[in-house]
Amino acid sequence: MKILVTGGAGYIGGTVTRLLLAKGHSVTVFDNLCHSKRSAVAEGAEFILGDLADRPLVEKTLSEGRFDGVMHFAALIEAGESMKKPEIYFRNNTASTLTLLESMLATGHDKLVFSSTAACYGEPESTPILEDAKLQPTNAYGESKLLVEHMLRWMNLIHGFRYASLRYFNVAGAIEGYGEAHEPESHLIPLILDVALGRRENIKIFGRDYPTKDGTCVRDYIHVRDLAEAHLLALQALSHESRLIYNIGNGQGFTVLEVIESVRRVTGKQITVEEHERRAGDPAVLVASSEKIKKELGWKPEFAELDKIIASAWEWHQKRYA
């Protein structure tokens, strides 16, 4: 297949790009490099430097490429920042995606795999969360992604536009030679690994008064390779399905303190903790049920254990800063 990957210089998009290339597919990466570097683009992929808000460039890319499908990862991802600057999230995540959809319709492209988020659910009424749970985001980031899902539903109903929306939680781990490298970094596991490497004095915990077993937030962690496989399965399924919505997760949650303890076990390093007040918009528990995609597409995560996920991230982290 010939595939366009937006945000393909990022952590998840870059991993997906490498998986696609390894499986013999042709990939074009479209990225504005706002939180990445040109060196993050996979060798063997065509690269186009551009912003999704630039409709003429997006349409030109699609018209010249004639792609079998589009995988859309380009987005701002910081929930905390979205509660301070919601406008840039609606501009970058929602409005720019509308430009992509308009461009796809205008050029005859009708298959999209959308990198959504479990933040669409907000504070769940029960866990693990099923795909038919209420959609009530508690932060502007989740709302910006949910608005895209609403647009996709209408594009499907009116234009027959085929799409898969994959909602997932915390992504971690690394594949050989490529892992998490956000600029700036804000995700829990690489931040803790920074402490293990001595690059950071401590790890900050935001909130110790959540209704969980140790008072810290509970999250579901999925290995980036398992997530990448789910995206490819979803794209293949769009050849005979018109609308797919799946949760992608481990099905089990870990508290922030349990993640820190796992890093201690894997690295053998001491991890100093600094406690802070809660951040706005952080739900107490987010754990997904992935039974639907397992049953319908045969997806099965290979990295179900947190220590294994962190071990792959630790290997990458050490090489990155060697």
The span from the CA of 118 to the CA of 111, in Å, is 22
The shares of helix, strand and coil residues in the chain, as percent rounded to the nearest 5, are 40, 20, 40
Contact between 246 and 292 under an 8 Å Cβ cutoff? The reply is: yes
Active site members = 141
In the numeric block, which tokens belong to residue 247?
A: 């949760």
Taking the CA atoms of 301, 110, 35 and 282 in sequence, report the sign of the dihedral they define. Answer: negative
Neighbouring residues of 236: CB distance < 8 A, sequence distance ≥ 6? none
Residue 78, classed as helix, strand or coil, is coil
Neighbouring residues of 240: CB distance < 8 A, sequence distance ≥ 6? none
Q: Residue 6 pairs with which residues in a beta bridge?
A: 30, 72
Between strands 253-255 and 218-223, the pairing is: antiparallel
Element (H, E) at 253: strand 253-255
The span from the CA of 94 to the CA of 109, in Å, is 19
Neighbouring residues of 5: CB distance < 8 A, sequence distance ≥ 6? 13, 16, 17, 20, 27, 28, 29, 30, 45, 70, 71, 73
Residue 63, classed as helix, strand or coil, is helix
Q: What radius of gyration do the chain's Cα atoms show?
A: 19
Strands (E), 79-128: 111-115
Give the chain's count of helices (H) and strands (E).
Answer: 11, 13
The span from the CA of 241 to the CA of 290, in Å, is 18
In the numeric block, which tokens belong to residue 105?
A: 């319709």
